[in-house]
Amino acid sequence: MRKPKLRELREAIKAIFTGPYTPKTFLTPPESLRGLTKFFEDDCIGCSKCELACTPLAPHEFDYGLGARAAIYIPHGNAIPQIPVLDPDYCIFDGHCARVCPTNCIDFTQQPQELKVQAGAVIIATGLKTTPMGAKKEYGGDKFLNVMNPLAMERVQSSNGPYGHVLRPSDGKIPKSVAYVQCAGSRDKSIGVPYCSRVCCMYALKQAIMIKHQRHDTEVTIYYMDIRAFGKGYEQFYRRALAEGVRVVKGKVGRILEVENHDLALRVELIDEGGGVSEIRHDLVVLSQGTIPGWRPDGAVPIGVDADGFFEIREVTTRPANSSTEGIFVAGVATGPKDIPDAIVEAGAAAMEAAMYLDRTWRRQTELAGAGVEA
3-class DSSP state of 365: helix
Q: What gap in Å lies between CA 265 and CA 225, rounded to an integer?
A: 19
Domains in the chain, CATH or no CATH each = 129-291 (3.50.50.60), 295-370 (no CATH)
Task: Please classify residue 221 by burial: count the beta carbons closer than 10 Å to its beta carbon, then call 0-12 exposed, 13-18 middle and 19+ buried.
Answer: buried
Q: What gap in Å lies between CA 239 and CA 246, rounded to an integer?
A: 10
The torsion angles phi and psi of 305, rounded to 5 degrees, stand at -125, 135
Task: Please classify residue 359 by burial: count the beta carbons closer than 10 Å to its beta carbon, then call 0-12 exposed, 13-18 middle and 19+ buried.
Answer: exposed
Q: What is the pLDDT of residue 274?
A: 84
Say if strands 276-282 and 264-270 run parallel, antiparallel, or are unpaired: antiparallel
Question: DSSP assignment of 218-285, as one string?
Answer: -EEEEEES-----STTHHHHHHHHHHTT-EEEEEEEEEEEE-GGG-EEEEEEEGGGTTEEEEEEESEE
Between the two ends of the chain, the Cα-to-Cα distance in Å is 36
Q: What gap in Å lies between CA 364 and CA 375, rounded to an integer?
A: 9
**pTM recorded for the entire structure:** 0.87
Decide if 51 contacts 84 (C-beta within 8 A): yes
Decide if 185 contacts 287 (C-beta within 8 A): yes
Q: What is the pLDDT of residue 207?
A: 97
Per-residue pLDDT of the chain (375 residues; tens, 9 = 90+): 455 566 666 655 555 555 444 444 444 444 333 334 455 556 888 899 999 999 999 999 999 999 999 999 988 888 888 888 888 889 999 999 999 999 988 888 877 777 777 788 889 998 999 999 999 999 999 999 999 999 999 999 998 899 988 999 999 999 999 999 999 999 999 999 999 999 999 999 999 999 999 999 999 999 999 999 988 899 999 999 999 999 999 999 999 999 999 999 999 999 988 889 999 999 999 999 999 999 888 878 888 899 999 999 988 888 999 998 888 999 999 999 999 999 999 999 999 999 999 999 888 878 777 776 665
Reference 253, options 278, 229, 272; nearest CA is 278
Other Cβ atoms less than 10 A from the Cβ of 245: the count is 15
Decide if 147 contacts 164 (C-beta within 8 A): no
Q: What is the pLDDT of residue 374?
A: 60
Q: What gap in Å lies between CA 217 and CA 245, rounded to an integer?
A: 10
Decide if 152 contacts 133 (C-beta within 8 A): no
Decide if 76 contacts 158 (C-beta within 8 A): no
Q: Distances in Å between the alpha carbon of 234 and those of 185, 333, 346, 373?
A: 21, 20, 20, 56
Q: What is the pLDDT of residue 14?
A: 56
Q: What gap in Å lies between CA 89 and CA 73, rounded to an integer?
A: 13
Q: What is the pLDDT of residue 50?
A: 93
Half-sphere exposure of 17 (CA within 13 A, CB side): 5
Q: Distances in Å between the alpha carbon of 237 and those of 153, 248, 276?
A: 20, 13, 29
Q: What gap in Å lies between CA 127 and CA 331, rounded to an integer?
A: 9
Listed in sequence order, the residues at least 6 apart from 99 whose beta carbon sits closer than 8 Å to its beta carbon are: 53
The number of angstroms, rounded, from the C-alpha of 47 to the middle of its chain's C-alpha atoms is 27
Q: What is the pLDDT of residue 366?
A: 81
